[in-house]
């Protein structure tokens, strides 16, 4: 399947203006990659830079896109809501400027029940690392569409 053909909004429980990824680039059992162009109208852009909150949400939404893809295209189910369980070893090396394109990679370290532990790296297209973190995501049984009322 050509992942570029997938509308990212169909994989995420988040809706604009709270969407922090543009495209799903890769998704397999262990590795997921997404892209994001930092735009001035992004709600997490302050003084021309994507804030740390935006970077954390970008990582969380990369996890959400992974689960959305698995739910829809592997299990043939609806997208479920997930929640950040914890963030560890967060290193924000720098906040990206408007106009920069980010490539976010998560690597699944462990999945137990409905908890997923990932290592995350956010880089610029020039391969400069801007963020590193470990994130734990808890997946619920709640369909994301049941919350849109």
The model's confidence at residue 146, banded by pLDDT at 50, 70 and 90, is low
Two tokens, residue 50: 């994507």
Distances in whole angstroms, Cα of residue 101 to Cα of each of 8, 68, 90, 136:
16, 23, 20, 25
User: What is the chain written as a DSSP string?
Assistant: --GGGS-GGGT-S--TTS----EEEEE-SSEEEEEEE--TT-TTEETTEE-HHHHHHHHHHHHHHHHHHIIIIIS--PPEEEEEEEEEEEEE--PPBTT-EEEEEEEEEEEETTEEEEEEEEEETT--EEEEEEEEEEEEEEEGGGG--
What's the pLDDT at 149? 42
- Region 34-47 average pLDDT: 98
Q: Which residue range forms the structural domain that includes residue 92?
A: 3-147
Tell me: pLDDT of 145 over 90: no
* Number of domains observed in the structure of the chain: 1
Tell me: pLDDT of 80 over 80: yes
The dihedral of CA 16, 14, 131, 43: what is its sign?
positive
The per-residue pLDDT for range 95-142, each reduced to its tens digit, is 999 999 999 999 999 999 999 999 999 999 999 999 999 999 998 888
CATH number of the domain that residue 61 is part of: 3.10.129.10
pTM: 0.94
What's the pLDDT at 131? 98
Two tokens, residue 82: 């997930």
């Amino acid at each position: 399947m050509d992942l570029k053909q997938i509308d990212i909004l169909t994989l995420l429980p988040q809706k604009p203006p709270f969407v922090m990824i543009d495209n799903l680039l890769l998704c397999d059992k262990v590795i997921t990659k997404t892209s994001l162009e930092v735009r001035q109208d992004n709600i997490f852009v302050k003084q021309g830079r994507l804030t740390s909150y935006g970077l954390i949400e970008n990582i969380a939404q990369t996890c959400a896109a992974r689960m959305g893809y698995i739910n829809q295209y592997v299990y043939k189910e609806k997208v479920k809501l997930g929640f950040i369980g914890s963030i560890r070893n967060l290193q924000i090396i720098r906040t990206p400027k408007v106009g920069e394109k980010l490539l976010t990679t998560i690597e699944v370290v462990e999945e137990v029940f409905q908890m997923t532990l990932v290592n995350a790296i956010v880089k610029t297209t020039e391969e400069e690392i801007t963020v590193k973190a470990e994130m734990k995501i808890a997946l619920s049984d709640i369909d994301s569409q049941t919350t849109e009322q």
